[in-house]
């Protein structure tokens, strides 16, 4: 079936659904029946596939639906209607999809429908969580040159444990035992790495070690963390509305989390001045865990000393440096090897020696 025919049937089904036809399924069947009367013939198997394609266009994710449902695909991104790429394992490949600008826009609008997020010229970026837990990021012109840029980062259905990571070769058994001991002992852990290095996977694996009777409060830009804690409150930031009000930042979420009696505070990713609020929380005795983008474990610590300074000119650098050294106990750095496999490449641990904090390498 040509894409032009599919587009025509989809538009007809949409029109029928808008005009009061009982449901989407009925509208699709009626649109196909009308097409058959116009001498288009398909087998029963082709008709079933056609109905699925039209339904995906109307209420699903259109031509991207089969990519979203493929468990082997980790990420999907669109540079232009005829440039669709996927990441599968350690490989990146272009897929033979020719979309239209209208289809991309309509698909994104359906993705955002239940998220409460908006996207327009005054707010040309959006981050949102899809119903299956995937993370959506979209940029539109005139920030992009001409086309909508769409990224969909999927997350595995299974939450990996440290034991799974041993089996995958990401860590060895000795490191697994060490990380379990540090986490259960209440050490504040910073998980660092580049994009797609496995930071969130490691964070969730560490959470699996903890006592499920702990009260966990997590804050994120968009929901990504998954865990089986019973006593868990997950919060995400919010963009301002059309009037420019209603924004809820990570800084505020961290402060609100402290009023919610957390046993452990988790920040999905520290990027800006919320690093100061995290350090203050950790300095008050609350166990914490967070991720940060960095090229090495040492650079992660340096970045943690710089980010709090964004909170204002009255923040002393010496205070921040001292607080980082006395609150962060462990840095776990994730990376990819030459084959693209994710591994823990560095681990730094702090020690108090003669009243001074000294960092030593556990591995790396």
Q: Give yes or no: residues 36 and 179 share one domain.
A: no
Distance between CA 119 and CA 178 in Å, rounded? 45
Tens of pLDDT, residue by residue over 135-176, are 899 999 989 999 999 999 987 777 899 999 999 999 999 999
Domain boundary pick from 129, 153, 177: 153
Instruction: Categorize the per-residue pLDDT at 243 as very low, low, confident or very high, splitting at 50, 70 and 90.
Output: confident
Tens of pLDDT, residue by residue over 62-84, are 788 888 888 889 899 999 999 99
Neighbour count for residue 187 (Cβ, 10 Å): 17
Q: Give yes or no: residues 191 and 264 share one domain.
A: yes
Q: Which residue has the higher pLDDT, 278 or 355?
A: 278
Residue-level pLDDT at 39:
56
Residue-level pLDDT at 237:
92
Q: Give yes or no: residues 219 and 264 share one domain.
A: yes
Q: Give yes or no: residues 112 and 191 share one domain.
A: no
Neighbouring residues of 148: CB distance < 8 A, sequence distance ≥ 6: 78, 101, 104, 105, 108, 138, 139, 140, 141
Neighbour count for residue 47 (Cβ, 10 Å): 15
> Which domain does 42 fall in, by range?
3-58
Tens of pLDDT, residue by residue over 88-123, are 877 899 999 888 898 899 889 888 887 777 788 888
Q: Give yes or no: residues 30 and 69 share one domain.
A: no
Q: Give yes or no: residues 168 and 282 share one domain.
A: yes
Q: Which residue has the higher pLDDT, 151 or 12?
A: 151
Can you give the pTM of this predicted structure?
A: 0.80
Domain with residue 131: its CATH number is 3.30.450.90
Tens of pLDDT, residue by residue over 258-273, are 999 999 999 999 999 9
Q: Kindly report the average pLDDT of the chain as a whole number.
A: 86
Distance between CA 170 and CA 204 in Å, rounded? 14
Q: Give yes or no: residues 301 and 351 share one domain.
A: yes
Q: Give yes or no: residues 105 and 226 share one domain.
A: no
Count of domains forming the chain: 3
What value does the mean pLDDT take over residues 197-226? 92
Q: Which residue has the higher pLDDT, 97 or 306?
A: 306
Taken as a whole, the chain contains a residue count of 364
Q: Which residue has the higher pLDDT, 54 or 144?
A: 144
Does residue 18 surpass a pLDDT of 90? no
Task: Return the CA Rg of the chain.
Answer: 24
Q: Give yes or no: residues 197 and 287 share one domain.
A: yes
Residue-level pLDDT at 148:
96
Q: Give yes or no: residues 267 and 359 share one domain.
A: yes
Q: Which residue has the higher pLDDT, 206 or 52?
A: 206
Q: Give yes or no: residues 182 and 322 share one domain.
A: yes
């Amino acid at each position: 079936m040509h894409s032009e025919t599919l587009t025509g049937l989809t538009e007809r089904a949409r029109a029928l659904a808008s005009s009061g036809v009982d449901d989407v399924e009925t509208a699709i069947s009626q649109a196909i029946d009308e097409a058959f009367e116009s001498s288009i013939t398909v087998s029963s198997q082709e008709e079933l596939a056609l109905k699925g394609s039209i339904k995906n266009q109307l209420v699903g994710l259109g031509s991207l639906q089969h990519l979203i449902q493929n468990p082997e695909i980790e990420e999907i991104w669109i540079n232009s209607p005829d440039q669709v790429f996927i990441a599968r394992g350690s490989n990146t490949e272009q897929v033979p999809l020719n979309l239209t600008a209208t289809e991309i826009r309509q698909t994104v609008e359906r993705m955002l429908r239940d998220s409460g997020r908006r996207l327009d010229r005054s707010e040309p970026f959006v981050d949102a969580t899809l119903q299956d837990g995937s993370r959506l990021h979209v940029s539109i012109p005139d920030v992009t040159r001409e086309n909508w840029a769409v990224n969909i980062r999927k997350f595995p259905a299974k939450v990996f444990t440290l034991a799974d990571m041993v089996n995958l070769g990401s860590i060895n058994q000795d490191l697994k035992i060490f990380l379990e001991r540090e986490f259960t002992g209440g050490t504040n852990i910073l998980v660092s790495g580049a994009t797609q290095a496995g930071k969130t996977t490691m964070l969730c694996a560490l959470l699996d070690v903890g006592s499920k009777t702990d009260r966990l409060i997590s804050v994120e830009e968009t929901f990504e963390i998954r865990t089986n804690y019973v006593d868990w409150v997950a919060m995400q930031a919010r963009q301002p509305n059309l009037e420019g009000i209603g924004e809820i930042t990570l800084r505020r979420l961290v402060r609100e989390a402290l009023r919610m009696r957390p046993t452990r505070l988790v920040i999905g990713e520290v990027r800006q001045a919320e690093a100061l609020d995290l350090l203050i929380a950790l300095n008050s005795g609350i166990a914490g865990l967070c991720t940060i983008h960095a090229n090495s474990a040492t650079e992660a610590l340096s970045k943690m000393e710089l980010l709090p300074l964004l909170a204002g000119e009255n923040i002393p650098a010496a205070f921040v440096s001292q607080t980082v050294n006395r609150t962060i106990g462990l840095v776990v750095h994730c990376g990819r090897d030459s084959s693209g496999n994710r591994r823990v490449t560095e681990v730094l641990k702090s020690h108090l020696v003669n009243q001074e904090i000294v960092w030593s390498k556990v591995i790396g």
